[in-house]
């Protein structure tokens, strides 16, 4: 996440609003002026968990569920470290959408701390069960419609990709899948996600090589 916290939240809500025109402007007020779609600010998303906890008002990171008031519209936030130390999930009660960043999405789940990640997914399932969640949205779509098959890293043309919105049932299935491989470092393929339990130099090198080969093949075949 390279946007500022203010811009990130405001932009996410603007995306939600585009599909729900009945919401009023007073329900979409952000903290500061949101950037135009696709724009990025010069300030970076804080990667320090203490800074994120302080900004949003966590007392007991990451287990608290805190409210973030946009002005006429309030979001529920909770910490979900594991992919990254400062990861959070954001729930919008108006739409029922749960935003999970890189921690839960139809793609490759890179885990830097499996114990924290497993705990975060378990809490996320409980969080979802206590709310009316309509869709679970991550930051990327990397899976094809063939179960267990992903696009190469950096792919920019994905005509057979799955829908970006996942379901609470898929969240529960991924939580169970991750728990089943928590003590097994390596790459584990499931229908909806591919779990990378540890990101050593060898794993990173293989991912980079696959991305290069995929990009070359795409150019040779005339794909976008």
DSSP 104-145: SSSSEEEES-HHHHHHHHHHHHHHHHTS---EEEES---BBS
Euclidean distance between CA atoms 96 and 74, whole angstroms: 12
pLDDT > 70: percent of the chain? 78
The pLDDT of residue 221 is above 80? yes
- What's the alpha-carbon Rg for the chain, to the nearest Å? 18
**How many domains does the chain divide into?**
1
The residue range of the domain holding 61 is: 5-221
Residues 60-92 pLDDT 10s: 999 999 999 999 899 999 999 999 999 999 999
């Amino acid at each position: 996440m390279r946007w500022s916290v203010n811009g990130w939240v405001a932009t996410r809500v603007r995306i939600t609003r585009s599909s729900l025109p009945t919401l009023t402007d007073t329900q979409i007020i952000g903290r500061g002026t949101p950037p135009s779609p696709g724009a990025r600010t010069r300030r970076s998303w804080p990667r320090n968990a203490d800074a994120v906890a302080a900004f949003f008002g966590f007392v007991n990171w990451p287990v608290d569920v805190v409210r973030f008031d946009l002005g006429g519209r309030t979001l529920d936030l909770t910490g979900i470290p594991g992919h990254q130390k400062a990861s959070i999930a954001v729930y919008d009660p108006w739409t029922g959408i749960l935003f999970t960043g890189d921690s839960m999405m139809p793609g490759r789940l890179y885990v830097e701390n499996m114990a924290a990640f497993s705990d975060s997914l378990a809490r996320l399932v409980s969080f979802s069960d206590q709310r009316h969640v309509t869709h679970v949205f991550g930051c990327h779509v990397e899976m094809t419609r063939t179960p267990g098959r992903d696009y190469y890293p950096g792919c920019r043309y994905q005509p057979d990709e799955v829908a970006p919105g996942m379901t609470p049932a898929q969240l529960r299935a991924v939580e169970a899948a991750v728990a089943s491989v928590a003590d097994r470092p390596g790459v584990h393929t499931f229908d909806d996600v591919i779990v990378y339990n540890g990101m050593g130099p060898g794993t990173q090198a293989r991912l980079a090589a696959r991305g290069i080969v995929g990009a070359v093949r795409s150019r040779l075949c005339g794909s976008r």
